[in-house]
Structure 1
Amino acid sequence: MPTQTAEWIRTSLRTPGILIFGMVLAPCGWILNLTATVSPNWRTIRNIPGTPSNEFLQQGIWDICRATDTSQLECQLVDTAYFNTPIIDIARGLMVASLIVTLIGLAVAIAGVRCWRENPRWIVAGLGGLLIFLSGVMTLIPIAWYTHILEDIANSGAGGDIVVGYCIVLGYIGAIMEILAGAVMFIGICRCCGGKNRGERPIEEVMGPQSRRQNPPQPRRAEVPSPVRTRSSASSVPYSRDDDISFPRAKTPARSVTTPYSGRPYDVDL
């Protein structure tokens, strides 16, 4: 015998929690990744020989700036050795591609999470989550690679203490947020955990056993009063129980009244 597929029903019209989680976390990660991409502070070089003690260099993947603890002095510095390092070109391409893929993933996910539909398009939302997951991985690769070879990247200046810049921290946080958002949204492409990930429950648990649904209760019959009119104790006219009131009664002819007269006739009476 062919097996019957279980029917599922949503217990609430609210957007499922996994989609809310992904749609909130992904834009936050995108903003952090955008900041990490354009800001020139992937690493900081301090205590450079021949410079004041409070002066340091901020190096990013697009620009290099010289600054102090209180102000920023000069940007767009030229460092051929630094920008010719292969990790710089790879980081530029992957970070820009990650930003674009995140926007595409959000657009696809929004098409599947429309709030005015009774049920989300789970496949479309899952594909959007997959794109967001891939964009997080694309951000994590250059961030982790740059951190791994932080002190080995070429620098035209001699000496100095190299420390991690705030862009690396923002990039890690943004990449992890996008990876989590995409993975959680992709879970909705298949039903798991008893349907809790989609906010669904088996229809048997909500509507009761199948046998009860197949045998619905009989409709209640309305009682119509009988047209037979019974004899009322307050009425002076006797009615029989067998009388049918659907036909009108025939009227009885009026009786003629004769009064006896025993007097003598007068002329007026003639």
Structure 2
Amino acid sequence: MAHGGLQALGLALAGAGWLALLAATALPQWEVSTFAGDSIITALVTMKGLWMSCVSTSTGQLQCKSYDSVLALPGHLQATRALMVLSGVLGPLALGAAVAGMRCTRCGGDDARKKAAVAGAGGGLFILSGLLALVSCSWYGHRIVTSFYDPTIPINLKFEFGSALFLGWAGSALALLGGSLLASSCCSRGGGGAAKGGGYPRARTPPKGAPTSREYV
């Protein structure tokens, strides 16, 4: 039962992480304009994401514009896009394998070892998805830090971490943790009955004087 509980916990954490990665990929708040060094209140806030850039005014209005050309984008932005999209595509595959391999489902037959292997494969896909997202978010964050401390860039053109970047880090951490719990199920030997004894009956020697018989445990 504990083994099935860890599988359910891993699936919940990994699923929540995958949803967070999808939200982070779609949101435009990967980097926001900084007001460091400004002596007046700026009425406009610029935000940049993977697919569009937005400008928010002090009155609450938000105007966004999608990037016109993919080839005109910087190399780090194109790579981040590709890694985050690939991370999101791996999510449904990992989710399907994890659900099919869980002990509480009837998918994939009744072979405990085979189901554990399928659940472990789903966990491995979640780990790969989390690693891709972690690399892309960290790379993007490194570029923000490098540009922020570059003295040749004016202060009004510098950016800071946005909420979508933090969401991406949190989602990758949840995917890695949940995937690790699912992957550990293929190495555990929990469960009773056939899972412990290899599925074969074990003969017990009857006491002297008792009729000869075979008992199964």
Within the alignment, does 1:91 sit opposite 2:86 as a pair? no
The structure in which a higher percent of residues are helix is 2
Matching residue within 121, 125, 128 for 1:127: 121
Describe how 1:159-178 pairs up with structure 2 within 5 A: 159-160=155-156, 161-178=158-175
Cα distance between partner residues in 2 of 1:24 and 1:69: 39
Tell me how many residue pairs correspond in the alignment: 191
Aligned to 2:17: 29
Aligned to 1:44: 32
Matching residue within 174, 183, 186 for 1:186: 183
TM-aligned CA deviation for residue 79 of structure 1: 8.7
TM-aligned CA deviation for residue 86 of structure 1: 0.8
Q: Which moved more, 1:52-61 or 1:66-75?
A: 66-75
- Normalised by the length of structure 2, the TM-score is 0.75
- Normalised by the length of structure 1, the TM-score is 0.61
For residues 216 and 33 of structure 1, do their structure 2 counterparts lie closer, same or farther at Cα, with a shift above 3 Å needed? farther
AA partner of residue 73 (structure 1)? L
Aligned to 1:215: 206
Deviations 1:58-104 (A, max 9, x none): 11011000003451331106698xx6211110111111110110110
Cα distance between partner residues in 2 of 1:78 and 1:180: 34
Cα distance between partner residues in 1 of 2:207 and 2:77: 71
Matching residue within 142, 146, 151 for 1:148: 142
TM-aligned CA deviation for residue 215 of structure 1: 2.9
Corresponding residue SS for 1:74: strand
Answer 1 or 2: higher relative contact order, Cα 8 Å, separation at least 6.
Answer: 2
Deviations 1:45-65 (A, max 9, x none): 13499x961311011011000
Structure 2 unmatched ranges of 5 or more? 212-217
Deviations 1:191-210 (A, max 9, x none): 3xxx4xx3559969xxxxx8
TM-aligned CA deviation for residue 30 of structure 1: 1.1
Corresponding residue SS for 2:155: coil
Q: Is the 8 A contact 2:51 2:67 kept in 1?
A: no
TM-aligned CA deviation for residue 188 of structure 1: 1.4
Cα distance between partner residues in 1 of 2:196 and 2:23: 47
Larger radius of gyration: 1
Structure 1 unmatched ranges of 5 or more? 1-11, 205-209, 220-270
Q: Is the 8 A contact 2:32 2:159 kept in 1?
A: yes
TM-aligned CA deviation for residue 137 of structure 1: 0.3
Corresponding residue SS for 2:91: helix
AA partner of residue 155 (structure 2)? G
Corresponding residue SS for 1:188: helix
Cα-Cα RMSD = 3.3
TM-aligned CA deviation for residue 35 of structure 1: 0.9
Corresponding residue SS for 1:163: strand
AA partner of residue 31 (structure 1)? L
